[in-house]
Structure formats: structure tokens, C-alpha cells
């Protein structure tokens, strides 16, 4: 398994990432959301996850500070994410036939290694549902807030946060 970072001008890579996202996620975006998604992709770090010669997933980290992340847009939590160098983990989408705890944790280890070796990102935050929050706690992220309500959703979400050092110490 390996990560492939997609550069902003890699149209083929982004096409593959968007295809994986649309095939394996349930959220439908309107035109406004699509524009924001494109901005997040262009400002962020986007990865394809490959296994045995095929793309099996995608993962994005978006920088905080451009009012594009969920953490910045969710009510009453912006103060919790004011750590310089913070990026929001987003769009972790895995093909159903590759979703196992073993594979997911291996992907998180690859991401942690890449961040440690290649990025100046010091902190990661995530907003996710209860099931994903349980997974992310295994990576060293800590719950900062729960029962967060997002627009147009009926679920409660969690805000998690952790330093890249803590994540690496937990996973590697």
C-alpha cells in the first residue's frame, strides 16, 4: 500500500479521487459545495491510496485559516481549533472491499509517516460521526467536543484533535 500525493495540476489524479469520493459516499453536493470542495482540494493536500496497482481510497488535509473547513464553519467550536499549523482531515474514503480495521490502520500509519517526513503540519483536527471518532481515537486524536450539529444533518458529530507527534507516537 502506498500514498500518492496529487498536485493541483494533476487532472487525472483529481478525476480518480473525485470518482472514488462520489462512488463511495452518500452526501450529494450542490454547486456551492462543489466550489468549496474544489477550493479545499487546491489549497489542501490530497492523496490517492493505492493497493495492488489500483486506487482504493482518497484522503485530504485542508489548511485551517481560509474559512473552508468544517471546523471553521461549525458553530461554537472555532476557538477550539486555534492552534497554528492545524489542518483538518477530510475525505477519507475507502472502497468497501478494502474497508477493514487492519487496512484502515495501515493507511493511517502511512499518512502519519508521510506527515512526519514531508509536511510542516503540526496539528490535525477532524469532525466526524461517532463511528469514525472511535477509529480516530486509536490514532492518538482526542475528543474536544461532541454533539456538534452541522447544517442539514440529523446526526451529532465529534471534534477531535491531536499533534502529529502524538499521532506518530501512537501509530509508529
State how far the Cα of 40 lies from the Cα of 150, in Å rounded to an integer. 18
Q: Assess contact for 128 and 157: CB atoms under 8 A.
A: yes
Cell numbers 461554537: residue: 76
Query: Per-residue confidence at 67, pLDDT binned at 50, 70, 90?
Result: confident
pTM: 0.86
Provide the pLDDT for residue 28: 46
Partnered with residue 55 across adjacent β-strands are: 50
Number of helices (H), then strands (E), in the chain: 6, 7
Set out the domains of the chain in order of their start, with CATH numbers. Answer: 2-171 (3.40.630.30)
Strands 142-149 and 123-128: unpaired
Q: How much of the chain, in percent, has pLDDT values that exceed 90? A: 55
Out of 80-94, 106-120, 156-170, pick the least confident.
80-94
Residue 102 has pLDDT above 80, yes or no: yes
Please answer whether residues 95 and 48 qualify as being in contact, where contact means their C-beta atoms are separated by less than 8 angstroms: no
Query: What is the tens place of the pLDDT at every residue in 106-153?
Result: 999 999 999 999 998 999 999 998 999 999 999 999 999 888 877 666
Q: Given 3-state DSSP classes, what are the helix, strand and coil percentages for the chain, each rounded to the nearest 5?
A: 40, 30, 25
Amino acid at each position: 500500500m502506498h500514498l500518492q500525493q496529487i498536485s493541483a495540476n494533476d487532472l487525472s489524479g483529481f478525476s480518480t479521487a473525485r470518482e472514488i469520493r462520489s462512488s463511495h459516499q452518500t452526501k450529494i453536493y450542490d454547486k456551492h459545495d462543489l466550489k468549496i470542495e474544489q477550493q479545499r482540494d487546491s489549497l489542501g493536500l490530497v492523496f490517492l491510496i493505492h493497493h495492488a496497482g489500483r486506487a482504493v481510497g482518497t484522503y485530504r488535509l485542508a489548511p485551517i485559516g481560509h474559512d473552508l473547513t468544517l471546523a471553521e464553519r461549525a458553530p461554537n467550536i472555532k476557538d477550539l481549533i486555534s492552534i497554528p499549523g492545524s489542518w483538518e482531515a477530510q475525505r477519507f474514503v475507502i472502497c468497501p472491499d478494502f474497508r477493514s480495521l487492519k487496512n484502515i490502520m495501515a493507511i493511517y500509519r502511512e499518512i502519519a509517516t508521510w506527515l512526519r517526513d514531508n509536511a510542516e503540519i503540526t496539528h490535525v483536527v477532524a469532525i466526524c460521526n461517532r463511528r469514525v471518532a472511535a477509529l480516530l481515537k486509536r490514532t492518538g486524536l482526542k475528543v474536544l467536543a461532541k454533539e456538534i450539529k452541522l447544517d442539514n444533518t440529523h446526526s451529532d458529530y465529534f471534534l477531535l484533535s491531536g499533534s502529529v507527534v502524538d499521532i506518530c507516537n501512537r501509530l509508529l
